[in-house]
Amino acid sequence: MELMVALDYPEVKQAAELADQLRGLPVTYKIGSELFLQMGLKGLHEFKKQWNASLFLDLKFHDIPNTVSRSIAQLMTYDLKYVTMHLSGGRSMMEASRQVVDQSKSTLQLLGVSVLTSFDEAEWKEVAVAIHPSPAPLADTVSAWVALGAQSGIHGVVCSGHEVSALKKAHPTLKFIIPGVRPDGFEKGPSDQKRVLTPSEVKKRGGDAIVVGRPITQNEQPKKIVEAILRDC
């Protein structure tokens, strides 16, 4: 499995310090909106160059097809590996984005975000009840959205490790990226991730990549924990 390190930092300096400590290790860096708003596209380019990094830009686009596909077009010159959009953005948004990637012969992979792993059934119901008075269970929503993504040109999806086995069976060509991962022995403590698994559990279930943030970024010895996680990948 691929290890994606979530650089959820407010400052570029902190991300650079971690990248320095992890130099030479085979990881992909996931840059979310918090850090991206600090570094901007220029900073992203510099970070890529300085650390020869494989990058995943996690901005979770969700807008009309024209806006999202033109945003994807903006990213074409930055040699990114992955970018995310919400599967709930719909077929036209995903198809238009895929068209931009194919037309520019880019290797950028579009990842669809299903239901965020911070949702549990109760919180999900609060959202879904706005669509239907007796909403489908969270897992059914995830499967339907992943199927839509697969039909609409998405390369992979981000989903909970609890859902990956069944989804992989239904969509063997999609890449499955799993957040909400906590390494063996990691002090869990209070967390907003409600459906967590260990790296080996994700691997057994057929995940292709894991996203790990705080267990690495808040660790005093990040290199050690990354090496341990890589052994389980």
Binding site for ligand C5P (CB under 6 A): 6, 8, 32, 113, 116-117, 158, 179-180, 193, 211-214
In 3-state terms, what secondary structure has residue 204? Answer: helix
Distance CA 89, CA 80 (A): 21
Closest contact distance (angstroms) between CB of 8 and ligand C5P is 5
**Under a CB-based contact definition with an 8 Å cutoff, are residues 155 and 109 in contact?**
yes
Active-site residues: which are they? 60
Supply φ then ψ for residue 78, to 5 degrees: -100, 5
Q: Which is nearer to ligand C5P, 34 or 102 (CB)?
A: 34
Closest contact distance (angstroms) between CB of 6 and ligand C5P is 4
Residues β-bridged to residue 77: none
Amino acid found at 32: G
Closest contact distance (angstroms) between CB of 119 and ligand C5P is 8
Residue 77: burial class (beta carbons within 10 Å; 0-12, 13-18, 19+)? exposed
Q: Which residue is nearest to ligand C5P (CB)?
A: 213
Tokens standing for residue 165: 């086995």
Q: Which is nearer to ligand C5P, 32 or 222 (CB)?
A: 32
Q: Which is nearer to ligand C5P, 117 or 198 (CB)?
A: 117
Q: Which is nearer to ligand C5P, 109 or 193 (CB)?
A: 193
Tokens standing for residue 232: 């389980």
In 3-state terms, what secondary structure has residue 59? Answer: strand
Closest contact distance (angstroms) between CB of 109 and ligand C5P is 15
